[in-house]
Structures are given as C-alpha cells and as structure tokens.
Amino acid sequence: MSLAKRLVEHPQRETGGSLAQERFDYQALWGLALIFSNHEKSEDYAIAFEFHDDVVMLDSAEAPANVRFYQVKTKDKGHWTLTDLFRRPALKKGQKDEDRPLSFMGKLFSNYEAFPGDTASMSFVSNVPLEFAGANQDIAFKDCNSDTFAKFLKRLQTEHGSATKDQAGLMHFVKADLSLHDASTHAKGKLNNFVVKAHGEIPYNLDGLYRAVIEDCRTRSKYTGEIKSFEDLIRYKAICRADVHKWLAAVGAQAKFPEWSEIAADLTYDAMKKMRLRAEWMKYRAKVLDAGDEGIRSVRRDIRSALASVSDSALSLTDIADTVLAQVKSVAVGHLSPCTDDRLLVMILYEVLQHGETGELQSSDQKPSGEAA
C-alpha cells in the first residue's frame, strides 16, 4: 500500500482538540517558515498542519515516498531538559501503565511506529533552546554527548520497548527562529524576504499578502473535517508548491497593477467622474491582494463571470464597465459596504485588465476608431 493511502487510512494519534489560539498561530507561522525554507530546495512537496503531528512534510503532493514529522512546542522562558522531554503524567489510581499518556518524545516516536519504512526524520521544534545541545540548536539527538544520547535512548525504550539506536537516531531538536510573542512580525519579515528573492524589489501590499498567506495556513491547521482520500489531505490540510506559486503570482499581478493614467485615456466618462474613479483606483490597489476580505473575493468572482458574456464583443472599455456594472450591482450590495457605482466600476476595470493580460478579452482595452477619449 502506498504512503499516500496509509497516511489517510492510519488512525491519527490525536485530533488536536481545543488548542490555545497562540499555539495554533505559532504552529501555523512556523509551518509557514518551513515552507519558505523548503521551497527553493524541493521541486515537489506538501506541508500539512495538524495531521498525525503538528506539522508534517511530504516529499511530494502527488505520490510521496517519505515523510518528516515536526512536533512544535512553546515555552515562555527557560530551556528543555531530558526530563522535560520525557515527562509523563503520573499514573492515576487503577490506571495501567500502557494507558498512561506518552511524553513528548514518546508521541513523536509514535510516528515512526506508524510509518516505519517512510519516516525520514522526527523533529521536536521549540522557541527555547535544548539544554544539552551546546551552540548547535538544530541537531540530531544522536549527535549530542554520547552519554546523554544513551540516557535518551533508555528513556525512549521505557515507552517504546522495541526502539533501536538507529531509529532513535532519526529524532532531532530544532530551535525555531520565531519569538513566541512576536512571531507574526518575524514571519512577515520572512515572507517579504521570500517575495524579494522571487521577484526582486517591487511594490506590493505586504500586509494584504501576509493576511492571505497566514489565513491559508490557519485554515488548514484548524480544519477538522473527515479526510477520506490523499486528495482531501492535500486540499484541506496541506500547502504545496502550487499554492506558493499562487501567492507569488498574486504579487506579480499586483506589481503590474497599471497606473491610472493608462486606463483613464480609454474611458469616456466626464472629468469629475474620472477623478472619483482615480481615488477609488488608488484605494483598490491596496485592497486587491487581501484574500481575507470575502466580500471583495465574492464580487470579483461575479465580475469575472459577467465579463465572460462580453469577452467577444467590440464594446469600448466604458461600455464594458457599464454593462457589467448593471449585471453585478444588485448582488454586490450584499457583499460590499459601501457599494457605490464608482467602487464597483474600479473593480470591473481591474478584472478587465487582468483578463486582457491573459488574452481572454481581445478588445477590452481598445475603443472603436473615432471615439473620443
């Protein structure tokens, strides 16, 4: 049976439950940082949230052959000791040892037992350091002091009696470079660096892109619906290379957002209306990337649908805008506030130009010969 099929069919150790918002956010933000660091190294990957563990990285979004598990835990201060890593709740009266909850390391190793031939690594990730790792805070436990690793293995075997030295050697500690209480600021900086590396220094709405990206991660982290297939896993719980390309494509599209002067010359509205539209255009430039605004997203979908009915026409840009406005206004008022004609016209003009970039509207940016500007 393939790894993809076994990932879906194997019962999860836990389903997450009601986790604190700060922990959810930190896991999502660290997973986002992992996406950035992995994107340049891997041609194909999928990073899933809250599925078998806090973060899971597959080497393919279609036919994975190996998996890396990450357990992300936070502390306000201090460091992690061997005792911390293997601490387990005390046995309750009448409770059998086999029913006793596992330690952090015990839970992490459970992933290997579930997927023994496919596990490439199991990493414990935290915002505070490991006491016995020295200066190296991204380290396999087997590479720590030999006496310490011997103690590590012995404690692991009290929870998983069959665990071997080689299997324990797949376990790592990773010191996260995101602070606990300001992780979003650090993640936003990583996002900007990622965009600059991909596109160079270009103008774009960092806040809007950040909201869209982190909402993608949070949505996957919080999804608790049934996963019936590997396709469901990728769709509902994972970010893959194609998703990241969409983020970067959105930035590229915004960077090419035309100047108002390029559009105004093709419009036949009166001067005062053009001035109002120009003001709305500048406002919309900052909003178009904000995928967190479902109202805007819904109206954009309606506009694109309406544009399909005029895509082969010889209408001027002004006539296209007015025609689509008449079609979408009655529905748009339920999604936008305020929902003025000027605001809708600007959104329509943007979508016309987006279609024009892909060649879907052949005459959208041209007026019939002899028509005044």
Over residues 328-341, the pLDDT tens digits come to 999 999 998 899 99
> Do 216 and 67 share a domain, yes or no?
yes
Instruction: Among 51-60, 131-140, 313-322, name the one with the lowest average pLDDT.
Output: 131-140
Burial profile 171-200: b = 16 or more Cβ within 10 angstroms, e = fewer? bbbbbbebebeebbeebbebbeebbeebee
> Do 302 and 165 share a domain, yes or no?
no
Confidence of residue 160 (pLDDT cuts 50, 70, 90): very high
| Residue 367 within a domain | no
> Do 303 and 229 share a domain, yes or no?
no
> Do 238 and 334 share a domain, yes or no?
no
Distance in angstroms (rounded) separating the CA atoms of residues 97 and 318: 76
DSSP secondary structure, 252-279, as one string: HHHHTPPPHHHHHTT--S-HHHHHHHHH
> Of 249, 271, 295, which closes a domain?
249
Mapped onto helix, strand or coil, the DSSP state of residue 160 is: coil
> Do 25 and 166 share a domain, yes or no?
yes
Please report which residue ranges of the chain form alpha helices under DSSP H.
3-9, 21-39, 82-85, 104-114, 146-159, 165-168, 183-199, 206-222, 230-232, 241-255, 260-264, 271-287, 294-307, 317-332, 341-358
Nearest partner of 53 among 68, 65, 64, 42, judged by Cα: 68
> Are 45 and 36 spatial neighbours (Cβ–Cβ below 8 Å)?
no
pTM, full prediction: 0.72
> Do 10 and 138 share a domain, yes or no?
yes
> Do 14 and 129 share a domain, yes or no?
yes
Q: The dihedral of CA 46, 47, 49, 52: what is its sign? A: positive
Mean pLDDT of 12-39: 76
Mean pLDDT of 309-317: 85
> Do 293 and 209 share a domain, yes or no?
no
Which of 357 and 242 is assigned the larger pLDDT? 242
| Residue 366 within a domain | no
> Do 270 and 149 share a domain, yes or no?
no
Q: Specify the number of domains making up the chain.
A: 2
| Residue 27 within a domain | yes
> Of 201, 220, 249, which closes a domain?
249
Confidence of residue 14 (pLDDT cuts 50, 70, 90): low
> Of 190, 220, 249, which closes a domain?
249
> Do 64 and 101 share a domain, yes or no?
yes
> Do 202 and 269 share a domain, yes or no?
no
Domain membership of residue 188 as a residue range: 3-249
> Do 331 and 219 share a domain, yes or no?
no
Distance in angstroms (rounded) separating the CA atoms of residues 24 and 222: 8
